[in-house]
Amino acid sequence: MTKAELYDLKYTLSDFIYPRLKEFKDKVDGKNAPSIPDFSNIEHFSKDTPFEEKEKYWNELLSEMIIPFEYHVYPENFEHLELKEVNEKVEWGLKIFAEYFINLWF
């Protein structure tokens, strides 16, 4: 490990996480995810909620999770947004990433 990798670890981690999280989402998009989170803690879901609806919600969460890592790898993709909006999206995406971290598996 180099000193530069540790200097600002968020960039090093983003370089690693971003492409893998995108690939994971692509698998979900392609209906190649054998499972999705239970979502029993989500108010509008019940045990009778169709899998497709939960799958769509999972896809949306994954999109939000990707944002913080994409921002640190490709900040130019966010130049059209105000800094406040970017910061809100980054904070929210990291919160969702942490909350659903254990669900990132196939």
Q: So where are the chain's domains? A: 3-103
- pLDDT, tens digit, for every residue of 7-65? 889 999 999 999 999 999 999 999 887 778 888 788 888 888 888 898 999 999 999 99
- Compute CA distances 92 → 39, 68, 72, 83, whole Å: 18, 9, 15, 14
Kindly report the pTM of this predicted structure.
0.91
The two tokens of residue 75 are: 């900040």
Task: Compute the half-sphere exposure of residue 98: CA atoms within 13 Å on the CB side of its CA.
Answer: 7
What is the pLDDT at residue 11?
94
pLDDT at 78: 98
d(CA 88, CA 83): 9
Q: Which of 22, 2, 29, 9 is nearest to 72 (CA)?
A: 9
